[in-house]
Amino acid sequence: MQGILSIQSHVSFGHAGNSSAVFPMQRMGFEVWPIHTVQFSNHTQHQEGWTGRAFSADDISELVRGLGNIGALEKCQAVLTGYQGSAEQCLAVEDTVTKVKQANPEALYVCDPVMGAPDKGCIVAPGIAENLLNRLMPMADVIVPNQFELSQFAEMEIHTLDDAINACQRALAKGPKVVLVKHLYCLSDDSFNMLLATSEGTYLAKRPHFEFAKAPVGAGDLISAIFTAGLLKGWTPKQAFQHCHDACYGVLNATYQAGEWELQTIAAQQEFVEPSAHFPLEEVTLSQA
């Protein structure tokens, strides 16, 4: 039985981390083997707080060892990683990806390098950003950063579309074959913008921006999961990006229409199979200025 190994955070209530990523990949037809880096009652934006704890790097390694004992690693089609709770967890992930690729050289590694956001700066514990930038992102086949995380990896500021394209080219030169920028906020606030870059070309996706009273948490985890599943279906990165973009819009639209804060992943599950809206991609190149 083939499957996807998803190593990221988990919440009991709502949809963030594995709670946002696992079901969409299953709904798209894949077995998913989740390993949680932290387990919380709810996401951390609740003003009432949250309960739960982070797991140790040894906890992750122990589960991976068990999967190896039953021959699962050679059947692993992809490793997807998101939020890491410690620098040591990043090292356990690095070791896991190495083991999976030794067992199955065809396996993909998709890294969602959760570090922070423009209004929050770096939100992860000391050492995590360094390990993401210097270890995990360079070894990944696919990276799914936001604009801030891309700027850190490319070591340049991003203020324009040209900057973003240049940053993606720098990122591709460091090892990854595909860069999906899950939120490019240097462009107009009138739309929500994402960018895909490969050696074949660069594509911009725009969709209507929802004025949420409180922005849902877990949308980035949803994006990386749907894109991973699309690639494993044999779609080109461009096709997987188009599907991912449209499907995410559908989930966010359902969330907005329901007046909910938590992503409506279950109610809108048909979006993962057949998105209800379509926003054509635009191929973009560096301006000739």
User: Can you give the pTM of this predicted structure?
Assistant: 0.96
Q: DSSP E strands: which ranges in 178-224?
A: 178-181, 191-198, 201-208
pLDDT higher than threshold 80 for residue 125: no
Q: Which residue has the tokens 């690095």?
A: 94
Give the Cα separation of 215 and 183 in Å (integer).
Answer: 13
Q: Is 236 one of the annotated binding-site residues? A: no
pLDDT higher than threshold 80 for residue 124: no
Q: Is 45 one of the annotated binding-site residues? A: yes
Rounded to an integer, the average pLDDT of 111-130 is 79
Which tokens go with 275?
């998105």
Closest C-alpha to 164, from 178, 148, 176: 148
The pLDDT of residue 70 is 98
Cβ proximity of 267 and 226 under 8 Å:
no
Q: Name the DSSP class of 75.
A: G
Rounded to an integer, the average pLDDT of 222-240 is 99
Domain ranges of the chain: 3-180+215-236
Give the Cα separation of 47 and 31 in Å (integer).
Answer: 35
Q: Is 149 one of the annotated binding-site residues? A: yes
Residue 126: CB atoms within 10 Å: 9
The pLDDT of residue 74 is 98
Report the length, in residues, of the chain. Answer: 289
- Find which of 42-46, 124-128, 137-141, 182-186 is predicted with most confidence, using mean pLDDT: 137-141
Summarised one tens digit per residue, pLDDT across range 129-185 is 999 999 999 999 999 999 999 999 999 999 999 999 999 999 999 999 999 999 998
Ordered DSSP codes for 10-67: EESSS-SBHHHHHHHHHHTT--EEEEEEEEESS-TT-TT---EEEPPHHHHHHHHHHH
The pLDDT of residue 174 is 98
pLDDT higher than threshold 90 for residue 119: no
pLDDT higher than threshold 90 for residue 190: no
Task: Tell me the pLDDT band of 122, cut-offs 50, 70 and 90.
Answer: low
Rounded to an integer, the average pLDDT of 81-109 is 97
Ordered DSSP codes for 115-179: -EETTTEE-SPTTHHHHIIIIIHHH-SEE---HHHHHHHHTS---SHHHHHHHHHHHHHTS-SEE
Cα-to-chain-centroid distance, residue 284: 22
The pLDDT of residue 106 is 98
The pLDDT of residue 289 is 45
Residue 148: CB atoms within 10 Å: 18
Cα-to-chain-centroid distance, residue 109: 11
Give the Cα separation of 94 and 54 in Å (integer).
Answer: 18
pLDDT higher than threshold 70 for residue 18: yes
Task: Tell me the pLDDT band of 285, cut-offs 50, 70 and 90.
Answer: very high
Cβ proximity of 255 and 204 under 8 Å:
no
Q: What average pLDDT does the structure give for the chain? A: 95
The pLDDT of residue 53 is 93
- For the domain covering 3-180+215-236, report its CATH number: 3.40.1190.20
Q: Is 89 one of the annotated binding-site residues? A: no
Summarised one tens digit per residue, pLDDT across range 257-273 is 999 999 999 999 999 99
Count Cα neighbours of 205 within 13 Å in the Cβ-side half-sphere.
25
The pLDDT of residue 194 is 97
Of 126 and 84, the structure prediction assigns the larger pLDDT to 84
Rounded to an integer, the average pLDDT of 93-103 is 98
